[in-house]
Amino acid sequence: MLFIRLCSALLIAASCLLAAERKPNIIFILADDLGYGDLGCYGQKLIQTPNLDRMAAEGMRFTQFYAGSTVCAPSRSVLMTGLHTGHTRVRGNSGTTNPIAQSLRPDDVTVARVLKDAGYATALVGKWGLGDEGEAAGGWPTRQGFDYFFGYANQHHAHNYYPDFLMRGEEQVKLRNKVGPGSADNPVAKRFGVGYASEKLEYSHDLIAAEGLKWVEQQKDKPFFLYLALTTPHANNEANRALSNGQEVPDFGIYADEDWSPQNKGQAAMISRMDRDIGRLFGLLKRLKLDEHTLVFFSSDNGPHNEGGHTPELFRPSGPLRGMKRSLTDGGIRVPFLARWPGKIKPGVSAHVGWFADFLVTACDVTGAKAPAQTDGLSLLSTLLGQPEKQVQHKHLYWEFHERGFNQAVLLDSRWKAIRLGRTDGPVELYDVASDLGEAKNLAAEKPGLVARAKELFVSARTESPDWPIKEGVPGGTGKGGKKK
Domain boundaries, the chain: 22-387, 397-460
Q: Using an 8 Å Cβ cutoff, are 450 and 432 in contact?
A: no
Question: What is the three-class DSSP state of 190?
Answer: helix
Q: CATH classification of 22-387, choosing from 3.30.2270.10, 3.40.720.10, 3.40.50.300, 1.25.40.10? A: 3.40.720.10
Q: Using an 8 Å Cβ cutoff, are 157 and 485 in contact?
A: no
pLDDT value at residue 425: 94
Separation between Cα atoms, residue 59 and residue 358, nearest integer Å: 18
> For the residues of 356-396, what is the DSSP string, one character each?
TTHHHHHHHHHHTPPPPS--S----HHHHTT-GGG----SE
Which residues, in sequence order, are bridge partners of residue 397? 411
Quick one: which H or E segment has residue 274? helix 262-287
Q: Is 440 exposed, middle or buried (0-12, 13-18, 19+ CB in 10 A)?
A: exposed
pLDDT value at residue 7: 44
pLDDT value at residue 15: 41
Q: Using an 8 Å Cβ cutoff, are 34 and 302 in contact?
A: no
Amino acid, res. 352: H
* CA-CA-CA-CA torsion sign (377, 382, 384, 389): negative
pLDDT value at residue 194: 87
Separation between Cα atoms, residue 304 and residue 234, nearest integer Å: 9
- Output the 3-class SS for 333-345: HECCEEEECCCCC
Separation between Cα atoms, residue 384 and residue 381, nearest integer Å: 5
* CA-CA-CA-CA torsion sign (124, 130, 132, 136): negative
pTM value is 0.94
Peptide bond into 99 cis (omega under 30): no
406: left (phi over 0), alpha (psi -120 to 50) or beta: beta
Q: What is the pLDDT along the chain (485 residues), one digit of tens a residue?
A: 444 454 444 444 434 434 457 899 999 999 999 999 999 999 999 999 999 999 999 999 999 999 999 999 999 999 999 999 999 999 999 977 889 999 999 999 999 999 999 999 999 999 999 999 888 889 999 999 999 999 999 999 999 999 999 999 999 999 999 998 777 767 767 777 889 999 999 999 999 999 999 999 999 999 999 999 999 999 999 999 999 999 999 999 999 999 999 999 999 999 999 999 999 999 999 999 999 999 999 999 999 999 999 999 999 999 999 999 999 999 999 999 999 999 999 999 999 999 999 999 999 999 999 999 999 999 999 999 999 999 999 999 999 999 989 999 999 999 999 999 999 999 999 999 999 999 999 999 999 999 999 999 999 999 999 999 999 876 543 333 333 33
CA distances to 30, 115, 140, 205, 317 from 194, rounded to whole Å, are 22, 32, 18, 16, 27
pLDDT value at residue 475: 59
Helix residue ranges, H only, 106-246: 111-117, 187-191, 204-218, 237-243
Beta strands in 32-182 (DSSP E): 60-62, 65-66, 121-127, 148-152, 165-168, 171-174, 178-179
Cβ neighbour number for residue 10 with a 10 Å cutoff = 10
Amino acid, res. 376: D
For the 397-460 domain, the top CATH level (class) is alpha beta
Question: What is the three-class DSSP state of 225?
Answer: strand
pLDDT value at residue 474: 60
Domains 22-387 and 397-460 share a fold: no
